[in-house]
Amino acid sequence: MAQAVIKTDFKFQKQEGSYNGKVRDVYNINNEYLVMVVSDRISAFDVVLPKGIPFKGQVLNQIAEKFLDATADIVPNWKIAVPDPMVTIGHFVNPYPVEMVVRGYLTGHAWREYKAGKREICGVPMPEGMKEHQRFPEPIITPTTKAHEGHDEDISREEIIKQGLVSKEEYEKLEEYTLALFKRGTEIAEKMGLILVDTKYEFGTKNGQIYLIDEIHTPDSSRYFYLDGYQERLDKGENQKQLSKEFVREWLIENNFQGKEGEQMPDMPEEFITQVSNRYIELFEKITGDNFEKTEAQQTINRIEENVNNKLNELL
């Protein structure tokens, strides 16, 4: 099994600081650029699992690159260059403190809320009489707060504006961009025999301009179903065949872990790690139509550092 990149600690030229997220290590260069290293860490239930997934970072970074390029006509995005399979360099922007979650189907968190008897999520009504995995009449936007630690929390459009997290005018623009991006992602997925079920987008501003930031349409931020057999499985009340991180959550639930206090993190056996890695690669190939080329695992950290430094020499 190839070595997973779990941690990075670079010191790049003109580096102002760095931030370690659940999956990404982000380096601030001169308050002008961000170097985002997508590690092989994996999180579920807002907890980072102790073992990494080989090639996961490369999969996420390269899918995001493809979709940032495919949606740049809808909204400007932060990407400037991808100097390494695991790295994107982009604009340093001021992020909005909310994530724009958009759902086309009653699945995952929304279904868990629905099953518990709720008919509203984030202030958005959900129709009566729906089944798990059924398509909503129209996609719904169910934003969350952005937590640096712990759980992101559901929040309504009204509360976001009332709290001054985002102005009314800007929030309406974020909604417009969110629905347009989801529509584009849905169309691309359909051509590849997939359904884009739900996803999240993050945005920020720089010099008064709104930018799409972070990742887009990756298996960490999105859920995909296979289009073939979707209706048949829905009619029979069967689980959908999906390409997403949900099966990792399901495995954790089966092993009595949902990120709650006092619960013991189960040990991930090597065969399960290999299975997760293969699922990420499968999604890459399915959604992009490209063959996945595994990068040489030896000396990965050195390779990343050299590639980033070469690019920063051009930019600075």
> 189-219: per-residue pLDDT in tens?
999 999 999 999 999 999 999 999 999 999 8
> 67-98: per-residue pLDDT in tens?
999 999 999 999 999 999 999 999 999 999 99
Cα 246 to its chain centre, rounded Å, is 12
215-221-225 Cα angle (round to 5): 130
Please give the model's pTM, rounded to 2 decimal places: 0.90
**What is the per-residue pLDDT for 87?**
98
CA 240 → CA 45, 153, 221, 277, distances in Å? 21, 26, 18, 20
Is the distance from CB of 284 to CB of 290 less than 8 angstroms? yes
Q: What CATH topology corresponds to 95-243?
A: D-amino Acid Aminotransferase; Chain A, domain 1 (3.30.470)
273/36 Cα distance (integer angstroms): 24
Higher pLDDT, 311 or 242: 311
Q: Using the 8-state DSSP alphabet, how is residue 6 labeled?
A: -
Is the distance from CB of 131 to CB of 234 less than 8 angstroms? yes
Residue range 267-275: mean pLDDT, rounded? 93
**Is a pLDDT exceeding 80 seen at residue 275?**
yes
> 221-267: per-residue pLDDT in tens?
999 999 999 999 999 999 999 877 778 888 999 999 998 889 999 99
CA 31 → CA 15, 17, 28, distances in Å? 8, 9, 6
3-state secondary structure 66-123: HHHHHCCCCCCECEEEEEECCEEEEECCEECCEEEEEEEECCHHHHHHHHCCCCEECC
